[in-house]
Chain A
């Protein structure tokens, strides 16, 4: 089992240290050849415009789309934006997931927040019962899911913050900033 983390920009080091904590072999991905022999890929938080432009500049868009056809990919925050089909503005996207995303949906940094989420799928998969503490930073919102994409988690008011489409996973929040490893464990199970 080897999971890559897209290391163009953002908090890739935090994901890598989470994976190491779980005993998973990991590597930084900056160029297409770095995707070889990986079982899955995490696209970290960061600025989605920066990550998108660097992916275009180093010819990563097509290889990432191909990789996502038969491998697990998980995008957190900027990564979720990058995985989506539509963000209502012009920026490079992978378009792998049937989700529509709104960037900076909660406002500016002073509106960033932490909250607890009850995520049934996650609790079932990890055999745990406690809520998941989620950290949202200038977070995007998943406006809608379609096709084979399904809602994994929503806020109390129904706004979608996590979605899954087969082996593809998108979260508006940042599991890599907490000490709770359940989301990473869940993703590893999708990758194996």
Chain B
């Protein structure tokens, strides 16, 4: 029997292995080791965490492949890396060096203001951000095997992640109660494929794994997202921009596992030191927000 690689089941399946876990942004091998030791289920390798990308301004691009390879050498857990929206050559490069997942991410400066990457063309799986169900299903239609809410990266303000998770999960609940004859109009109004809309109604959930991202900074934030119904959590700047990264990382991992146990959450929230300095998204000019990138 011949073996098959790069199948939809394989791509979707790796994300299923990450469920109930925390994926942490790291900028070097040393941070990657700290993340792995804390119990991260994967790391996102990038040159600058979103908080620094915000502070620095300018164009944010794919990271140096050499830096990503060093992180891949340092840890045994899966390594993800980001490419710009629509920049399929950055994606080809990331696939060539063997990253386990590509994040086509709004945190970097978009390379195409109309189109995303046709992700079905790749053997490596992709994760993409979304603010609502239409955006999620468009990305899945293009081949994303995992979805995450966008939130507002690099702010430490969880409000946008909550808004996006509630919007997506609310739409799934709405779909579950709809009559079959209403689905085509739902597909039209949300700019999503009819087939995927039908699938969501049948499954009562996203057809792929759905993580939260963008503003998670504390164990309580992480457990909040889990209780809202996501499958796991990305933490970007929240860990390595805090006072005691190793301690905070371990606490967030525990909070995602025991998200329904308030006494454990209380215990892991103790003495974590300074959280990252947050930025209130409601006072942020629209032009500075990253979540609006993506179409």
Residues of A that sit less than 8 Å from B by CB: 7-14, 30, 45-47, 49-50, 53-54, 57, 77-78, 89, 103-104, 107-116, 131, 135, 137-138, 156, 174, 177
Q: Is the CB of B100 within 8 A of A138?
A: yes
* Also in contact, A9 and B36, with CB within 8 A (given A45-B16, A110-B98): no
> Scoring B residues 112 to 135 as 1 if CB is less than 8 Å from chain A, else 0, what string do you get?
000000000001110000000000
Across-interface contacts of B1 in A (CB, < 8 A)? 115-116, 131, 156
The answer for the CA separation of A9 and B78 in the assembled complex, in Å, is: 14
* Best-buried of B2, B19, B125, B254 by chain A (most CB within 10 Å): B19
Contacts of B125 in A (CB 8 A): 109
CB distance from B178 to the nearest CB of A (A): 23
- The stretch that binds A, out of B3-11, B188-196, B235-243, is B3-11
| Contacts A8-B20, A50-B39 known; 5 new A-B pairs at CB < 8 A | A8-B257, A50-B40, A115-B4, A116-B1, A177-B16
30 cross-chain CB contacts under 8 A: A8-B20, A9-B21, A9-B41, A11-B17, A46-B17, A46-B41, A47-B17, A47-B21, A47-B41, A49-B36, A49-B76, A50-B77, A53-B253, A54-B254, A107-B98, A108-B72, A108-B98, A108-B99, A109-B10, A109-B99, A109-B125, A110-B123, A114-B3, A114-B7, A114-B9, A115-B1, A135-B9, A135-B13, A138-B100, A177-B13
Chain B positions 1-57 with a Cβ under 8 Å from a chain A Cβ: 1-7, 9-10, 13-14, 16-21, 36-42
Chain A nearest CB from B248 CB (Å) reads 15
Is residue B101 within 8 Å, beta carbon to beta carbon, of the partner chain?
A: yes
Q: Are A109 and B254 in contact (CB under 8 A)?
A: no
B258 at the interface (CB under 8 A from A): yes
For the complex, is B95 an interface residue (Cβ under 8 Å from A)?
yes
List of B residues within 8 angstroms of A57 by Cβ: 250, 254
Given contacts A49-B36, A89-B76, contact A110 B6 (CB under 8 A): yes
Q: Which residues of the partner chain A approach B258 to less than 8 Å between Cβ atoms? A: 30
Q: Which residues of A contact B39 (CB under 8 A)?
A: 9, 49-50, 53-54
Inter-chain contact B4/A12, CB cutoff 8 Å? no
In angstroms, Cα B232 to Cα A2, docked, is 27
Residue of B nearest to A113 (CB): B3
CB distance from B269 to the nearest CB of A (A): 15
- For window 104-159 of chain B, which residues contact chain A by CB distance below 8 Å? 123-125
Q: Are B36 and A109 in contact (CB under 8 A)?
A: no
Residues of A within 8 A of B253 (CB): 50, 53-54
Interface residues, chain B, with chain A CB atoms under 8 Å away = 1-7, 9-10, 13-14, 16-21, 36-42, 72, 76-78, 95, 98-101, 123-125, 250, 253-254, 256-258, 261
Q: Is the CB of A30 within 8 A of B17?
A: no
Are B101's CB and A109's CB within 8 A?
A: yes
Residue of A nearest to B258 (CB): A30
**Chain B residues positioned under 8 Å from A110 (CB to CB):** 5-6, 95, 98, 123-124
Cα distance A13–B18 in the bound complex, in angstroms: 12
- Cα A11 to Cα B41 in complex, Å, equals 12
Given A113-B10, A137-B10, answer yes or no on A49-B3 (Cβ-Cβ < 8 Å).
Answer: no
- Shortest CB–CB separation between residue B77 and chain A, in angstroms? 5
Bound form: Cα–Cα A111–B14 in Å: 12
Q: Is B100 in contact with A115, judged by CB distance below 8 angstroms?
A: no
One of A7, A54, A103, A137 near B14 (C-beta < 8 A): A137
Contact A50 B10 (CB under 8 A): no
Known: A109-B101, A112-B10. A46 touches B20 (CB 8 A): yes
Q: How far is the CA of A98 from the CA of B6 in the complex (A)?
A: 32
B139 CB to nearest chain A CB (Å): 19
How many Å from the CB of A59 to the closest CB on chain B? Answer: 13
- Closest-CB distance, A130 to chain B (whole angstroms): 12
Known contacts A47-B77, A109-B100, A114-B9; decide if A78 and B4 are in contact (CB<8 Å). Answer: no
